[in-house]
Structure 1
C-alpha cells in the first residue's frame, strides 16, 4: 500500500510539472485570456472635513469614465456620453440623499462628530478565452464602516445580509420589488455596455525597435522592442529572427501610461555579428492585422555620447573652478594691498554673505 501511495505521489508530481511546462499553458498563450469589467463605487460619509460627503466614481478596464461629488454637482462622463443605466438607477431610486439617509439610519445620528462610511460597489466582470466567454459575474454589494453589509441575489431578487445590523434593513429592501427588478435588468445592460466600450475605444500601439551594446559582454547586443500607447491592455509582442520567435526574451510586463493607455517592452541578447532579419512582431485587438517593425541593424550610441558629454562637463567645471580661484586670489591681494586696515575675516564675512544670497535664490527656485 505504501509503495502504491509513493508511486501515486510521484505520478502526480510528474503530471503537475508537465502541465506547468506544457506549451499550451505557457506564458506565450496567456494573452488570449481577456478580462473586462465595469465598476461603480458610491461613498457617503457622516463627517467630511477633508473629503466630500458623497462621491460616485465609474471605472471600466482601468479607465475612469465617470466622476461625481457634492463639490462638483454634475455627472461628468469622461469618455462616453450615452447612459449605461447607472444614472437612471440613481435618478429613480438611489439618489445621493438616499445614500445619506441609509447612512444616518445605520450610524443612528444626523450630525455625527464621528466618521462613518456607507459604500456600494455595483457592476459586472467578464472573462473571455480565445474570444469565448468563460465567466460572467454580476454584483451589487454594500459595506458599512469597512465591513460587509449586504449583497444582492439576482436569481431570487432578494438581499443577503452580511452582518446583524443589516437584518432589519434587508426586510425593507426585499419589499422594494421595482428597485430589485431594475437592478437585475441593469446587470444585462452592464454587460452590453462593456462589449460596446471595448469594440469602440481602442488605441493602436506605437512600436519601436533598437539595439545597444551589452555593457557586460561587448560581443553581444541588447535588442529591445517597445510598444506604447495601446488600449485595451491585452497584447502579444515578440522579437523574431527571420520570422521565428527568439528564445530567452525578457519582458517588462504590461505597464500603465499617464494617459490611461499601456506600454510593454521585450528584450533579448543577440550576437553582435549575427546576420539575419530581426523584427518586432505585435498582435493587438486594435490592429486589423499583426504589425511588424524591422530592425535597421544600427546600434544606439546614446550611452557613449552621454559618457563623452559627462566628461566634457566635468572638464569645463574644473577649468572654471581654477579660473575662479585665480580671480579670487587676485581680488584678495588687490584688496589687501589697497586697504591694509581691512582684516581677512572681514573679507570672509563678505563672501559668506554672497553664498547666503545664492542659497536663498536656490530655495526660491525650488518652491
Structure 2
C-alpha cells in the first residue's frame, strides 16, 4: 500500500511540475568592431527581453534607453530611464574597449567585422502558488562562439576556449564580483522579473498561432533543383516544431533559419530542403505550437514560384517579413544549420489539414 501511495504522490508531483510555467528576463548587448553601413544595424545595441518580448532598447546612435512596451512606458518612472541610459552609455564604452582587446588576443585585424555579445538574466518557474528560481545565465560570446560564462552553482567563471582563461583567472580573483553576479542572477533579477510580470500581465497573456506557407523556388546552387521552403510565422510563444515531409515521412536533412523575431513581437521559422525540379513526390509541412489544439499540415501545390517570369513578387510577399533594426543588431550573425529528423506521420489530404494530435508524427 505504501508503494502504491508513493506512486500516486510521485505521479501528482510530476503533473504539477509539468504544469509549472517558465518565465524569463534577459538582457542582450551586442557590439560590432566597426560600422557595417547597413540600415538598422548599429555598432552597439542593448535590449531587455521579458518572456522573449522586447521591453526596452538602446543603440549608439540615439543613445537613449527607451520603452518598447506601453506598460513599461506607463509604469516605470522617468528616473528609471535616465539611470538606464547612463548605465548603457557606460556599457557601450566598456564593450568598445573590450572588443578591441579580444581582437588583439585572437590576432584579428579590422578588415572583417567582429562581434562581441553579452547575455545575462534569469528564469523562474511558477506553479501557481510558488515562484522558484530556475537558473541564471551570464555569458559572453565572440563571433558567435562561446567565450566565457558564469557558473552560479560554484560562483566561478568557465572558460571554454584558451583565449578566455586570462579573463577567467582575473575575474575569479575578485571575490566580490562573483558574489555580486550570483546575487544579481538569483535575487535582483528575479525581483525585477516578478515586478515586470505584474506590470505587463495582460500583454504577456496574449498568444498567437502560426500562419503556415509552403512554396518552392529555383535552387541558387543547382539549376536542376528546387528549394522547397516551409515558413511558419506570426506565432507566440516562440517554441515551435516545423517539419517538411515527403510521403508523410520527415525529411532527414533540412536547412533551418532558426527562430527569428518579427517586428510585432511574434516569431518566424523557415525550414528548407532541396529537391529535383522534376520530382513528383507529395511534400507537406507539419507545424506544432502550444496555441494549436491540433497540428497544422499544409501541402505543397507542386508549383515553382519563380520558374516563370513575374513570379518572384509572390515570393517576396510571402517571405518579406521586416525585422526591426534592434532585432537585426541583436542577432548579429545568423547561423544556418542542418537538422536531422525522420519518422512516419499520418496521411492527410487537402491543402491544410489538422491532425488529431498536437505533435508532428
TM range (shorter): 0.3 to 0.5
The structure carrying a bigger helix percent of its residues is: 1
| Greater gyration radius | 1
TM-score, normalization: structure 1?
0.46
